Structure 1
Amino acid sequence: MAFPRFPGTTRVGRVLGLPLVVEARTALPARELGPLLNDAFRWLRRMEDAPDARLGEVLERLSRGLSTAGVVDHRVDAGNAVRVRGSARPGERWRIGVRDPRTGAVRKMLFAHDLAVATAGGLSSVESVTVVGPDLAAAEAHAGEIAAMPLLPARRYAARLGAEGPYQVLLVDAERRAVSTPGLARYAPTAWARRMAG
């Protein structure tokens, strides 16, 4: 199947010591898009020196800036922190691989037009936690908090978070069993994890 051409570009760099990929899919002409991305990467280099910079917050600000500047269809990806807006191709959702923080292997695939995805490695009984929602800084904070908990409090916190609002959770325990909040199903093509009981 041939896809219609969706103009844009991909830039690769680093942010807070991590590899970063920015995919911009936009009808902006190259003479406008190039300088805009150059400015974005200059700003990212300045963030390297900010003592309190957090990855989720930096990437969320970058994504908002791109959107405000007219690059409404984009993906900002730093491995375990991903922010997508708009479409990968006309009418097509972005594909976001949920990665195992220990191996880097893609564990599950999510599909969305506007989503923040943050994954954190857990301690002892929690192997990994992925939180999805509308803001990458908040998703990253929730993922880190849940990942630091023992399994039962982590499951309760995740279930409460999923029930209360726009953030949904995939939790993988030390035995590699995955459970998710019910709202996560809207981003997954099939049912792939047991649901958390409220």
Structure 2
Amino acid sequence: MTHSLVRVEHVMGMAISLDLDDDLPVHELERLADGVFGWLRQVDEVFSTYQAESEISRLARGEIRREQCSPLVSEVLDRCAELWDETDGYFDVSAGGVLDPSGYVKGWAVQRACDRLLDEGSANHCLNAGGDIFVRGAPRGRERWRVGVRHPWEPLAVAWVLEVTDTAVATSGTYERGLHVLNPFTGAPASELRSVTVVGPELGTADAYATAALAMGLPGIDWLAALPGHESAVVTEDGRALRSDGLQVVPPRLAAP
């Protein structure tokens, strides 16, 4: 007999949900889920800025050097340096004056977990970490996963629903944590955009692009539109809802706040 599995655990300071919909025995699905959440806990131990003894916290305080950290730290910081260049400096892990690669780490960790799932035999899964989502394959009986993008004023409503497969969906916004993203060139909190969603092939990159566009403010809308291989949806602080031409959504419009 085969089963599907849904598991939710609190890791990295948030509820993370995993949906495995493969024709595998339940003990195999449980093993795969254990691996996903074990990996995410490992990432949190290395990269949490809320844990004083994490490697990234100790590195930020100058207690250890980069070469003394695990290879994961170099992998992440090297990619963050590339993303700084790709975003014209708007994705800056030191924008707040302290090293903090969180705007990339969560998406990267979820992507890595999903890639491991594929390698280990799961072709149909959805992993959602606080709105940063990667889906592969489809749930049984459907051709695609349905992913809801949270309405930035109504916590229990969605602004858009996407039907996607083998796709990353990353959202950065001000509606939960306030004005927590800074414009690295002015040092001022980014306040012109309330929600930015980026859809693309790889979640770490999509996560960083969403953060960068939020930091840019209104100019980020045109910057997103020019990104090759990515689609986007933006809600401005004054209530306008905009999306790229290639982003297929249901329903097509966002109600006014």
**TM tier, smaller:** 0.7 to 0.9
Higher strand share: 1
Q: How many angstroms apart in 2 are the aligned matches of 1:103 and 1:184?
A: 22
What is the DSSP-based 3-state SS (H/G/I as helix, E as strand, rest coil) of the residue aligned with 2:30?
A: helix
Match of 1:177 among 231, 235, 240: 240
Q: How many angstroms apart in 2 are the aligned matches of 1:106 and 1:69?
A: 33
Q: Check conservation: 1:102, 1:121, Cα contact below 8 A.
A: no
Aligned to 2:173: 121
After TM superposition, where is structure 1 displaced by more than 2 Å over at least 4 residues in a row? 100-105, 189-193
**1:19-58 correspondence runs (5 A):** 19-51=15-47, 52=56, 54-58=105-109
Cα drift, residue 79 of structure 1: 2.5
Residue 126 of structure 2 corresponds to residue 88 of structure 1: no
Q: How many angstroms apart in 2 are the aligned matches of 1:101 and 1:59?
A: 23
Q: 1:150 to 1:44 in 2, by over 3 A?
A: closer
Whichever residue aligns with residue 112 of structure 1, its letter is V
What is the DSSP-based 3-state SS (H/G/I as helix, E as strand, rest coil) of the residue aligned with 1:90?
A: coil
Residue 224 of structure 2 corresponds to residue 158 of structure 1: yes
Whichever residue aligns with residue 204 of structure 2, its letter is A
Q: How many angstroms apart in 1 are the aligned matches of 2:208 and 2:220?
A: 14
Q: 1:48 to 1:149 in 2, by over 3 A?
A: same
Match of 2:253 among 186, 189, 192: 192
* Identical pairs, percent: 35
Q: Check conservation: 2:3, 2:26, Cα contact below 8 A.
A: no
Residue 130 of structure 2 corresponds to residue 63 of structure 1: no
The TM-score, its normalising length taken from structure 1, stands at: 0.84
CA RMSD of aligned residues (A): 1.9
Aligned to 1:143: 210
Q: Check conservation: 2:231, 2:247, Cα contact below 8 A.
A: yes
Q: How many angstroms apart in 2 are the aligned matches of 1:109 and 1:189?
A: 5
What is the DSSP-based 3-state SS (H/G/I as helix, E as strand, rest coil) of the residue aligned with 2:162?
A: strand
Aligned to 1:108: 160
CA offsets 1:87-122 (integer angstroms, 9 cap, x no match) = 112343111001145654421100012211111115
Contiguous gaps of at least 5 residues in structure 2:
48-55, 57-101, 175-189
The TM-score, its normalising length taken from structure 2, stands at: 0.66
CA offsets 1:53-85 (integer angstroms, 9 cap, x no match) = 610000000111111111110000123211110
Contiguous gaps of at least 5 residues in structure 1:
1-5, 194-198
